[in-house]
Structure 1
Amino acid sequence: MASLPIFITAVANSADEPSFPLLFTWSTHDAEIKEVLVTPDDDWLHSAAVESNIQNIDENQLYEFGYEAGDILSEWTSEFDTDTVYALQPQNLALLVEAIFDSKGLEPTFEVLDIYDWFLERGLDLRNEWSALGNPTPLELMPPDEQIASLLQIAAENELIEAPEREADYD
């Protein structure tokens, strides 16, 4: 079986002028969802601030619970065996991914492509599918983990991916 695509989203330091990430959320090839707060690089904070955001993430949380860029890149390197990942807002996400790589003097090892195009290439209009499910909140405004879970669910329900079987919990 081919591995599942990687769906990724992020929360940026600013909704108007994103320049660095506060949080990344992504799916794995096993259809798990991972989420990590990002400890800001000192250079990022010299040029931009952590503004109010939809997840209510503040700078203190980032320093207390966040992970350094190098740790995030190590995890991505071990998990992403692909040269493409898919996002709802690929231009913004690519900028945030580049910030992580750039903080370590590296070039991104994968390209961020449009998730809507991924669904269209498989014959499904994601916007129509989301509307048909009766969700009043736009997908882009959902919490990051719910965005990724919804994308995986829509893809699986429309047989665009085959989610791995879970082991049953036998007590």
Structure 2
Amino acid sequence: MQAPRFLDIEYCQTDDALFPVAMAWSLADGRMKTVVITPEDDWLPDDGDLGDVDLRYLGEQGVPLLELARELHADLPDQTVYVDGLDPDEILIDKLFSAVGQEPPFEIAPITELITGLDSDSLEDRRRQLMIDEGLEPQLPENGVYALLLLAREEGLLDPD
């Protein structure tokens, strides 16, 4: 059984900026990939205010956008990729692929389109509880993807371990 694909994006949002800083996604076999993203210069606000985002860290550890786009094309071609539905994921994905002059190779859909037996509030409550139970930091995108994988497993959408 192929696992549904999940994606979560950590992002910087200020009055003048909105851009992705890290991303995690799952593969068909349930494994995950995670990357820190090197931002484009034109994404950065003129006043330099990035809140608590460390621009030097992103520059040193981040993956260039073209490399990230290639990896997403290889890992998620023609897929529906599910997100928690809480973040501006579509805007962030569009920003990332626009910066490299490409279209995203996948469609984004909220988890409520995959798990239809629970309403969005119940799903979010369950996702939060799983993160607490597993001791996961919610700001890390890999933890967001892991919680969505756990939800899918609970709903019988993944093979049990």
Secondary structure of residue in 2 paired with 1:21 = strand
Q: How many Å apart are 1:22 and its aligned residue? A: 0.5
Structure 1 residue runs of 5 or longer lacking an equivalent are 166-171
Percent identical residues: 29
Please say if 1:93 is aligned against 2:104. no
Using a 3 Å threshold, how does the CA distance of structure 1 residues 47 and 32 change in structure 2: closer, same or farther?
Answer: farther
Tell me if the contact between 1:7 and 1:85 (Cα under 8 Å) persists in the aligned partners.
Answer: yes
The alignment partner of 1:77 has SS state of: helix
Asked if the contact 1:87/1:114 (under 8 Å) is kept, the reply is: yes
Residue 62 of structure 2, aligned match among 66, 84, 88: 66
Partner Cα distance (2:47, 2:26) in 1: 28
Count of matched residue pairs: 156
Contact 2:131 2:147 in 1 (8 A): no
- Is the CA contact (8 Å cut-off) linking 1:4 and 1:28 kept in structure 2? yes
Distance 1:116 1:48, change over 3 A: farther
CA distance in 2 between counterparts of 1:106 and 1:133 reads 35
Distance in 2 (CA, whole Å) between partners of 1:111 and 1:143 is 22
Contact 2:37 2:64 (8 Å CA) reproduced: yes
Please report the RMSD computed on the Cα atoms of aligned residues, expressed in angstroms.
2.9
Q: Does 1:103 align with 2:102?
A: no
Match status 1:147 vs 2:144: yes
**1:159 pairs with 2:156:** yes
Q: Is the radius of gyration larger for structure 1 or structure 2?
A: 1
Secondary structure class of the residue paired with 1:34: strand
- 1:8 is the counterpart of 2:7: yes
Whole-Å separation in 1 of the counterparts to 2:131 and 2:79: 34
Long gaps (5+) in structure 2: none
Task: Please give the TM-score of this superposition, normalised by the length of structure 2.
Answer: 0.80
Give the TM-score normalised by the residue count of structure 1.
0.75
> What are the superposed Cα offsets for residues 129-148 of structure 1, whole Å, 9 maximum, x if unpaired?
34776948xx9945322221
Which structure features the higher share of strand residues? 2
1:113 corresponds to 2:109: yes
What one-letter code is carried by the residue in structure 2 that aligns with 1:23? A
